[in-house]
Amino acid sequence: MKYAWIENDRVRDTAPGNPVEFYHADVAVFYDTQVPDDAVNGDGWVNGQLVKPEPPPAPEPAPRTWTAEDIRAGLTLAERVKWDNNSAPEIVTAKQEMALPQLLAHTTDVLSLLVSAQVISQASADKVLT
């Protein structure tokens, strides 16, 4: 067991040993509560019981994004030839639009443009999004 300074039902601080050996008597007086050895600053102390705080929830993963390279990777060989040679103005526009990573909605719009211009197939567009 070690000693802690409890304030507002929280472990404000723990002493590294007997408080009078480490702190001036005016400060050591606040380390008046024995707590389990695993107590750390910030733990709760409710009705003489140590209460560990809930861990924060894991952060949400970043939403998936796509780039021009991701689009190219989903194309057939014939479509990649068109893509690499900028054979249609829609390809040039798609590359510019996808120069920076884009979210699903924008990527879907770009793929729809390419499909409607018959530059790529719907199957290729679906493959890019998977």
Same domain, 26 and 77: no
Closest by CA position to 1, among listed 46, 32, 24: 32
Answer yes or no: is 61 within a domain.
no
Which pLDDT belongs to residue 1? 87
Answer yes or no: is 75 within a domain.
yes
Asked whether residue 32 carries a pLDDT value surpassing 90, the answer given is yes
Q: What angle do CA 22, 23, 27 make, to 5 degrees?
A: 150
Same domain, 95 and 122: yes
Report, as an integer, the average pLDDT of 89-93. Answer: 97
**What is the pTM (predicted TM-score) of this model?**
0.60
Same domain, 76 and 47: no
Percentages of the chain per state (helix, strand, coil), in multiples of 5 = 40, 15, 45
> Each residue of 99-119: pLDDT tens digit?
999 999 999 999 999 999 999
Asked whether residue 33 carries a pLDDT value surpassing 90, the answer given is yes
Up-side HSE of residue 84: CA atoms within 13 Å toward CB? 8
Answer yes or no: is 56 within a domain.
no
Q: What are the CA-CA distances from residue 54 to residues 42, 44, 80, 102 (Å)? A: 11, 10, 51, 35
Which pLDDT belongs to residue 102? 98
Answer yes or no: is 110 within a domain.
yes
> Each residue of 60-80: pLDDT tens digit?
999 999 999 999 999 999 999
Same domain, 39 and 75: no
Number of domains in the chain: 2
Asked whether residue 37 carries a pLDDT value surpassing 90, the answer given is yes
Asked whether residue 15 carries a pLDDT value surpassing 90, the answer given is yes
Same domain, 17 and 44: yes
Return the percentage of the chain with pLDDT > 90, whole number.
98
Which residues form the domain of 29?
2-51
Same domain, 72 and 108: yes
Answer yes or no: is 20 within a domain.
yes
* Residue 65 DSSP label: -
Which pLDDT belongs to residue 124? 98
Which pLDDT belongs to residue 122? 98
